[in-house]
Structure 1
Amino acid sequence: MEFDKFMLNPEKLKNYCDPSIFDFETTDEAPSLTGLVGQERAMKSVNFGFNVDKPGYNIYLAGSPGTGKTSYAKAMANDRAEKAPTPSDWCYVFNFKKPEEPKALELPPGEGKHFCKTMRELIENARAELPKALKEQTFEERKAQLVKEFQNKRSKLMDKLNQIGEEYGFRFKHTSSGIVTIPMVEGKEINEEEYEKLDEDKRREIEEKSSEIQVHVMKIIREIREEERELKDKLDNLREEMALSSLAPLMKPLKERYEKNESVKEYLEQVENDILDNLDKFTASQDESQGAMFPFLKTDAQTDDFFLRYEINLLVDNSDLSGAPVIVETNPTFYNLLGKMEYVNKMGTTTTDFTQIKPGALHRANGGFLILQANDLLRNPVSYNALKRVLNTRELRIENMGEQMGVIAVSSLRPEPIPIDLKVLIVGTRQIYQLLYNYEEDFSKLFKIKADFDETMERSNVNVHKMASFIYSHCKEKNLRPFTAAAVAKVIEHSSRLADHQQKLSTRFNDMVELAYESDTWAKIDDKNTVNKEHVERAIDEKVYRSNRPEEKIQELIDENILMIDTREKVIGQVNGLAVNDLGDFRFGKPFRITANTFSGKKGIINIEREAKLSGKIHDKGVMILSSYLGDVFFQEMPFSLSCSLCCEQSYGMIDGDSASSTELYAILSSLADAPIKQNIAVTGSVNQKGEIQPVGGITEKIEGYFATCKNKGFTGNEGVIIPKQNEKNLNLSDEIIDAVKEGKFNVYSITSISEGIEILTELPSGLEDEDPSEDSIYMRAKNQIKEFQKTPKEKEDNKNEEKEEKTNDTPE
């Protein structure tokens, strides 16, 4: 039989990149890269998301790691930020009406620093000038005049009281403890001893008169106290007047500067009123002996604690910012996102105040862009819920985490919330996006833009040259050696291998960056000024060598026949399959043996892996498809009566996937038809119910894994692999395999159906798709065997007797 038509030419095993397509000798002559390569869909999505300035149009950048999502998000955000206005500064100040609720003040960008500085200068000047104002001669003279007027009024009232007292036989004196009543006898004041010596009638008379005069005394006392209160008010007014005359020039520049800012204007008025209400704090001596000798006994007036109320907590300072902010928060904990209130220890007690309020990433990004990693954000569920609340309410409130988790709050401060206007960009995988979209009801409302980053791009001439520009730009940015055109061509070929497609390139630029770094290192070790093709090949090979120890150990087991793989004989019901082991940083192919035994019965196909609970769901599905295929081909006109056991030999772990289903079917057909299969050809590919071969993944690694086994066991010239026709475009085989194909040592067969595959493996006609199959075909041999399985023991015995009789009759006498 002729099988050359199924063999692939060496040209189809890899898509080489010709260095001559580049019009440069080294990348130093290549143009710089502008924009992102191969992500037109994602770029349009991100650009549209930036243009929509309505709530909820935040952006989720979805795709595999290393596709440039974060870098592009930063680049686009920075580009937009440069053209955007600089957002306001934000301050927290003391709330004189409700100290437990600090007020938030919005200031033009850059004004925050000035406001802090001028307020600090204001208080310092007030503490210096107000005591002077209250010691000026004018103040003392006006104060003395008020006191003198009071004393005159009090003297007149006392004279009036004494006049009344004389009528009743009493005299009054004003002492520090109040007004004292002194009885008089015969025109003379008497003391307590003299009073006790008076007879009882006289004392009763004095007591009666004392009771009568108390009404007049109380009236006079009320008038004196009223005068005292009036004096105090006049003195306070005088102090405030004098203080205000000194304070007004200090306040005037601030009031004029912030005349149009109502919130700041209101705050300054409150500051002014509070200073006048607390003049004693400003005029208290700062070096009293007690305070100087015993600082721990200082009162509020002797310490600076009181004056914290006039401090400005500059929460967000955009004085050095040109355009909008771009914040990348790598650790989005609750406090890092929303800010926090810090605590200080004072004499064993933790306290806080508005000056201890610290900003979070949302504060710093307000008016601009915040970039977060989905993994980092979702590791902190409280952070994600807090972010949702901020985006829903469009205001940022600093709270204690304990309040979010339903426990007692530690702090009594409740700062005024700050309005938020920003664009949030979350970078993550598609799986996380789907989970959030399906199970988090607010997510679809808050992140309406999805930017989907592809892992591959077309290997067009434009993209190939853009890849060269990417290499040049990165070499220039990181001070790497320039790449030659041949080295760039090798990078292009490796990119196609990573993309697992001859006509595509990988967009996982992180892998390209690693290759550039390592190739540059090998050029340095080789003491070369440019990175050549050999350096790129060395970098690729060395990266494999650092990770392929498990592959080598498995190959050793195969070489020592501990893992039994036959590459020379023909065996019934046995096929070499191909599998891929993925270690994360490295994946490799390895052959494994699949065997099938068929016998009489009605159990169908017995998947030994499934019985041993070592078979995954997809593998189970593939085995069930085999039953369907066999039923369609052999049991249309008779009941299904077949038992078959399938086994992946020497497998001790979980098996999943359907890429071995065609291999398993070949083993079954071989066993049914009693047709030996060539062991020098390994097989991969899944099969559907109609017997069509379907593509599988990891085709390059599978072929390379079997090639290594054949190489170690020694080539006979008949070794090869059978792959699905659709996988031809996925081939990116090593140069060693391609050379072996050119020399006729190794072959790659490409097929579309089970019929083609079984003919290559057995060198017998399949008959599976023929209307009139020959008796020697796989189909007829298998069907005849099934009919034998269906015979009863009596029918089998009768057949044997008939055969004996025929032999006897045929024997010559």
Structure 2
Amino acid sequence: MQSLSRNSQSAINQFTVKQSELYHACDLSQFSFETTDELEPLEEHLGQSRAMQALKFGIGIKQEGYNLFVLGSSGLGKQTTIRELLTEEAEETAVPSDWCYVNNFEQAHKPLVLALPKGMGRQLQQDMLRFIDDLLIALPAAFESDEYHAAMQTINEEYLRREEQSLDEVAAKAEKNNIMMMRTPSGWNLGPKQGDKVMSPEEFSQLPDEEQQAVTQVVEEVRDELKRILRQIPKWQKESRAKVKQLNREVSQGTVKQYAEDLKQKYLELDSVLHFVDKVTEDVIENTDLFRKYAAEMKDSSQTGSNKLPPDFNAYQVNVLVDHTATQGAPVVFEDHPSYQNLIGRIEHIAHFGSLITDFSLIKPGALHQANGGYLVLDVRKILSSPYAWEGLKRALSSREIKIESLEQLMSLASTTSLQPEPIPLDIKVVLTGSRLLYYLLKHYDPEFSRLFKVSADFSEDMIRDDDNIGLYVRLIAGIQQRNHLLPLDRGAVEKVIEQSSRMAQDAFRVSLHMGNLSDLLVEADHWARKQQRESIAKEDVQQAIDMRLFMMGQIKERLQEAVIRGIYKIATSGEVIAQVNGLSVIELDGYAFGRPSRITATARLGSGKVIDIEREVELGGAIHSKGVMILSSYLASHYAKEQPLALSATLVFEQSYGSLEGDSASAAELCTLLSAIAEVPLKQSLAITGSVNQHGEIQAIGGVNEKVEGFFDICRERGLSGEQGVIIPQSNIQHLMLKDEVCQAVEKGKFHLYAVSMIDEAMTLLTGVEMGLRADDGKYPLGTLNALIDKKVAHFAALQQQFAKNDHGKNRLLKRSSKDS
């Protein structure tokens, strides 16, 4: 093999990342403040101009279907921004109607809805309570009046006089014909009279036959007349009852209509209320006896004016569904638990003698009712995870009305009769908040989504870190500090916060816009500053807040590193081994990420050109990881087997891997391992490598570069830094470096190294200390180079394959000839 020359050593130095590129420090010397108390807080929404324009457009447009979906991860300040914009817009919008349900006196299972001006729903409810309370006193009093008793006496006397007069006429006729008419408990009896008493049967039998016949005839005539009179009595009673009922109706009308007219004077411009009061009036007049029945049971005057009617009078009350008495402008509702019932409303039931009953007074509003005429903000993840809530919301938005149905009715699971409240017209702007993944899934799979949510506001995760933006970002930090009443930050603390923000953005030239994380960092730094009894937050306080976060979440990381140090999890950081390299991966747990080195090994042998990924074969490798491995086969074929078969088979594996793997950031390490296995050239175990590779051998950027470098550094530090250890990263990842101070100091002292490469050849040169070599005009590589060794081994495998093919062909011919001879 050809060892490195001096020129090659200088080339390796070119791969070394400069000290200034390891950590892009923030310099605020151009600003004249000492602490953030001197700065004017930033009121605008920094870095979110695109989202703000979309929000203002979506809120301003009033056409159907222009509801909003606000995209972005949590912590970007979406809720705060939405609240501010909607509140500002709502203040300039008219207050919507109050909504009430009232009894339908014609079809009780179909309650009617009333739309009333602001505050009048509660007023009507109280007026109806007073109206019924007044009638509970006035109606019984009217039926106790002297006029009513006199009228009743007249009707009764008229009936009695009519009955007595008719009976007297029959009695006179009987008396005239010497017939006695007697009233008994069982009715009237007739018989011939002798003197002052009825003739006995013996006496009657002694009369002559002609006289007996005449008496019998007269008795029958009187009896027929009496029967006629008795048949008239029920009719006269009915007429009397009708007169009583008419009298009661007249008395009720006089009383009820007097109070009703007083009530209607308040609602002369509301036809729906006037119609409702008329229906109540008619029903009260028809059910006067109900009021008279309760007259004796009514309590003292303490019940008058109460907020609850006796149960039998519920039909006359008003169920105020939505009351805007205290509302200023349009309502803005944030529903934290958007279940189906919490959105659409519900019909409650009460237990009564072992059965469940309901009426219009048990109808309860949902968030759509509360926000009707204004704005409703929902978390899309929560509404999608609540059964039938998403479908219920879409149905309401599509029909532009709120129809309260129980889930049992909706799913046809209940056959019992329930209420069917009149639907309420819906005029609302719905704002959904959620992740980009959910937005695009709904966009793709739900055909109604695009029709109902036509406006998307995408919140940026980060922004460019230039001088203009940094000036605004400093004011943003000042605003958070002042709003949360924290200690002011000095210049060094602000610089550290901005640097940490770049670290959170995983880009040295951008800063994170996650307001939640930024606010938490300032609060925690304030805690440490107060503990040190400082008057302002210093850089050390910010760093302590960062360190404490890492410490609190770092148990799993420490256990994994301990397993490496104790030799349980095998990672070599010195020496050279063929077909073995240190790859780097990132483990992310609830926002906390750390790097973990992994041993990657490979084998190469004569075969059919297939690279076997063991992770994929056992279904531990994800699709992207498998794609990266498949690219390796293409790279080998295009570089070393353009004019000959690729007669090798190889296997790749992450050693001691017991979970799923995803991503292609280890494909560069896998290719290096594979090339080492083919060339049989050892790789330096003091180096780790990360990066993805394409078919042309170009090293591509990966994520989590800081965590990966620090993860390998921590292992090397625990074992002792030798000055040979380091990490190879993609050239395009230099701009993402924001390494911790300990790594930067080790690199500065030459105890640790960081290399950046753009081609797989450069990575192999660093890992092996052997030049890769370029193909000459004759198609051959220089002797002793890695490419020459690989090319030679591939050609050797191809020759072996041809030789085996010839031998197999000869054996087949011999077998055929032997079979013919036999």
Same fold per superposition (TM over 0.5):
yes
Opposite residue 128 of structure 1, the aligned amino acid is: I
22, 29, 32: which one aligns with 1:20: 29
Equivalent in the alignment of 2:539: 533
- Counterparts of 1:427 and 1:794 in 2: how far apart (Å)? 64
- Counterparts of 2:113 and 2:215 in 1: how far apart (Å)? 69
Equivalent in the alignment of 1:642: 648
- Counterparts of 1:64 and 1:372 in 2: how far apart (Å)? 15
Flag the 1:441–1:791 CA change in 2: closer, same or farther, 3 A. closer
- What is the SS of the residue equivalent to 1:315? strand
Opposite residue 254 of structure 2, the aligned amino acid is: S
How far the C-alpha of 1:704 sits from its partner, in A, is: 1.0
How far the C-alpha of 1:149 sits from its partner, in A, is: 4.7
State whether structure 2 residue 136 is matched by structure 1 residue 127: yes
Flag the 1:795–1:175 CA change in 2: closer, same or farther, 3 A. closer
Opposite residue 369 of structure 1, the aligned amino acid is: Y
How far the C-alpha of 1:525 sits from its partner, in A, is: 1.8
Equivalent in the alignment of 1:108: 117
* 254-263 or 57-66, which deviates more: 57-66
Equivalent in the alignment of 1:276: 285
Opposite residue 415 of structure 1, the aligned amino acid is: P
How far the C-alpha of 1:160 sits from its partner, in A, is: 5.6
How far the C-alpha of 1:187 sits from its partner, in A, is: 9.3
State whether structure 2 residue 89 is matched by structure 1 residue 52: no
How far the C-alpha of 1:632 sits from its partner, in A, is: 0.8
Does the Cα contact within 8 Å between 1:725 and 1:750 map onto a contact in 2? yes
- What is the SS of the residue equivalent to 1:284? helix
How far the C-alpha of 1:712 sits from its partner, in A, is: 2.4
Does the Cα contact within 8 Å between 2:128 and 2:318 map onto a contact in 1? yes
State whether structure 2 residue 60 is matched by structure 1 residue 38: no
Does the Cα contact within 8 Å between 1:28 and 1:472 map onto a contact in 2? yes
- Counterparts of 1:395 and 1:540 in 2: how far apart (Å)? 51
Opposite residue 798 of structure 2, the aligned amino acid is: Q
State whether structure 2 residue 245 is matched by structure 1 residue 236: yes
Superposed, 1:526-565 pairs within 5 Å as 526-565=532-571
- Counterparts of 1:148 and 1:604 in 2: how far apart (Å)? 118
- Counterparts of 2:433 and 2:320 in 1: how far apart (Å)? 31
How far the C-alpha of 1:536 sits from its partner, in A, is: 0.9
Does the Cα contact within 8 Å between 1:673 and 1:781 map onto a contact in 2? yes
Opposite residue 136 of structure 1, the aligned amino acid is: S
370, 377, 381: which one aligns with 2:383: 377
State whether structure 2 residue 767 is matched by structure 1 residue 761: yes
Superposed, 1:90-101 pairs within 5 Å as 90-101=99-110
Flag the 1:461–1:250 CA change in 2: closer, same or farther, 3 A. farther
Flag the 1:775–1:205 CA change in 2: closer, same or farther, 3 A. farther
Does the Cα contact within 8 Å between 2:604 and 2:649 map onto a contact in 1? yes
- What is the SS of the residue equivalent to 2:702? coil
- Counterparts of 2:223 and 2:398 in 1: how far apart (Å)? 72
- Counterparts of 1:720 and 1:201 in 2: how far apart (Å)? 151
Equivalent in the alignment of 1:300: none
State whether structure 2 residue 784 is matched by structure 1 residue 776: yes
How far the C-alpha of 1:411 sits from its partner, in A, is: 6.0
- Counterparts of 2:719 and 2:199 in 1: how far apart (Å)? 136
696, 705, 708: which one aligns with 1:702: 708
Opposite residue 53 of structure 2, the aligned amino acid is: K
Flag the 1:154–1:12 CA change in 2: closer, same or farther, 3 A. same
Opposite residue 432 of structure 2, the aligned amino acid is: I
Opposite residue 563 of structure 2, the aligned amino acid is: L
State whether structure 2 residue 438 is matched by structure 1 residue 432: yes
Opposite residue 704 of structure 2, the aligned amino acid is: G
Opposite residue 284 of structure 1, the aligned amino acid is: K
Equivalent in the alignment of 2:266: 257
User: Number of residue pairs matched?
Assistant: 783
Does the Cα contact within 8 Å between 2:190 and 2:219 map onto a contact in 1? no
Equivalent in the alignment of 1:297: none
How far the C-alpha of 1:263 sits from its partner, in A, is: 1.5
Equivalent in the alignment of 1:673: 679
Does the Cα contact within 8 Å between 1:700 and 1:732 map onto a contact in 2? yes
- Counterparts of 2:554 and 2:199 in 1: how far apart (Å)? 117
Does the Cα contact within 8 Å between 1:486 and 1:532 map onto a contact in 2? yes
Does the Cα contact within 8 Å between 1:352 and 1:411 map onto a contact in 2? no
Deviations 1:410-464 (A, max 9, x none): 6633332222222222222222223333333333322222222232222244443
How far the C-alpha of 1:618 sits from its partner, in A, is: 2.2
Opposite residue 608 of structure 1, the aligned amino acid is: I
Equivalent in the alignment of 1:789: 797
Point out where structure 1 has 5 or more consecutive residues left out of the alignment.
Answer: 293-302, 797-813
Flag the 1:39–1:189 CA change in 2: closer, same or farther, 3 A. farther
TM-score with structure 1 setting the length: 0.88
* 148-157 or 346-355, which deviates more: 148-157
How far the C-alpha of 1:211 sits from its partner, in A, is: 6.2
- Counterparts of 1:502 and 1:209 in 2: how far apart (Å)? 130
Superposed, 1:417-428 pairs within 5 Å as 417-428=423-434
- What is the SS of the residue equivalent to 1:475? helix
- What is the SS of the residue equivalent to 2:728? strand
Does the Cα contact within 8 Å between 1:195 and 1:203 map onto a contact in 2? no
How far the C-alpha of 1:286 sits from its partner, in A, is: 4.2
Equivalent in the alignment of 1:298: none
- What is the SS of the residue equivalent to 1:571? strand
* 313-322 or 524-533, which deviates more: 524-533
- Counterparts of 1:239 and 1:749 in 2: how far apart (Å)? 104
How far the C-alpha of 1:203 sits from its partner, in A, is: 7.3
State whether structure 2 residue 739 is matched by structure 1 residue 739: no
Deviations 1:127-176 (A, max 9, x none): 21222223333333444444445555555555665677678876878999
How far the C-alpha of 1:718 sits from its partner, in A, is: 3.1
Opposite residue 283 of structure 2, the aligned amino acid is: D
How far the C-alpha of 1:42 sits from its partner, in A, is: 2.2
Superposed, 1:162-241 pairs within 5 Å as 180=188, 182-185=190-193, 190=198, 226-241=235-250
TM-score with structure 2 setting the length: 0.87
Flag the 1:191–1:244 CA change in 2: closer, same or farther, 3 A. farther
Flag the 1:712–1:250 CA change in 2: closer, same or farther, 3 A. same
Does the Cα contact within 8 Å between 2:102 and 2:112 map onto a contact in 1? yes
State whether structure 2 residue 725 is matched by structure 1 residue 716: no
Does the Cα contact within 8 Å between 1:595 and 1:647 map onto a contact in 2? yes
494, 509, 527: which one aligns with 1:503: 509
- Counterparts of 1:239 and 1:760 in 2: how far apart (Å)? 110
* 419-428 or 228-237, which deviates more: 228-237
Superposed, 1:341-420 pairs within 5 Å as 341-408=347-414, 412-420=418-426
Does the Cα contact within 8 Å between 2:692 and 2:701 map onto a contact in 1? yes
Equivalent in the alignment of 1:469: 475
Q: For the aligned residues, what is the CA RMSD?
A: 3.2
Flag the 1:559–1:183 CA change in 2: closer, same or farther, 3 A. same
Opposite residue 626 of structure 1, the aligned amino acid is: L
Opposite residue 276 of structure 1, the aligned amino acid is: I
- What is the SS of the residue equivalent to 1:589? strand
- Counterparts of 1:446 and 1:305 in 2: how far apart (Å)? 43
Deviations 1:678-737 (A, max 9, x none): 332221111111111111111111111122222223333333222112212221111222
603, 626, 639: which one aligns with 1:620: 626
* 666-675 or 212-221, which deviates more: 212-221
State whether structure 2 residue 588 is matched by structure 1 residue 582: yes
Does the Cα contact within 8 Å between 2:646 and 2:798 map onto a contact in 1? no
* 118-127 or 246-255, which deviates more: 246-255
- What is the SS of the residue equivalent to 1:19? coil
- Counterparts of 1:275 and 1:480 in 2: how far apart (Å)? 65
State whether structure 2 residue 143 is matched by structure 1 residue 137: no
